[in-house]
Amino acid sequence: MAKNIYFKPYLLLEKFPQVRPLDVLPVALDFMEVDQVILEDKKYRIVSLLCGKQVVNLPCGQHHFVLHVRGNSMNQATPEPIDNGDYVILREQNTAESGDIVAVEIVGVDDRATLKRFKIESGKIFLVPESADLEFKKPMYLNHIFTKLDVDIYIRGVAVAVLKPV
């Protein structure tokens, strides 16, 4: 089980006069650190999904979003299992590296995102579940191998952290 990590989402900014042009960003003085959040009146600890990273940074210039997990297809994910009911913080982007955990939209299959390990082998794209559930022991959509992004599959984000109940 991973230990608590620190989450650095908010910059503490220098004071600046109101006459400063709006397109000039203030200088960051420090970061706020949090290791827990409250969602729907429940406490969650923040655990990094990026191998070797203890701190989850959410830079101001990047967009992030949170998905509520429904299902068990990633309950054996590494470095931290993603269980039914957890929340996942994702960096909004439309590309991924092989091995990333991604939220993807699959045209004609579902109107919601699915969370899976993204793998590229011999030019083919696989969405791989990591689950103890026998239903997920083979790569999902085995009969539908993707050969190109932006045709039938759209990456909506890469997972950076999971929120686990305290």
Contacts for 23 with CB less than 8 Å, ≥ 6 apart: none
Q: Which residue is catalytic, options 42, 48, 116, 119?
A: 116
Q: Which residue is catalytic, options 48, 73, 131, 164?
A: 73
Residue 11 has a CB neighbour count (10 Å cut-off) of 16
Token output for 1: 């089980």
For residue 101, give Cα distances in angstroms to 40, 48, 77.
Answer: 25, 12, 9
Q: Active site includes 48? A: no
Contacts for 156 with CB less than 8 Å, ≥ 6 apart: 90, 92, 94, 102, 103, 104, 105, 113
Among all chains, which residue has been given the structure tokens 């650095």? 8
Query: Residue 94, Cα to own-chain centre: how many angstroms?
Result: 12
Q: Active site includes 116? A: yes
Just list the catalytic residues: 73, 116
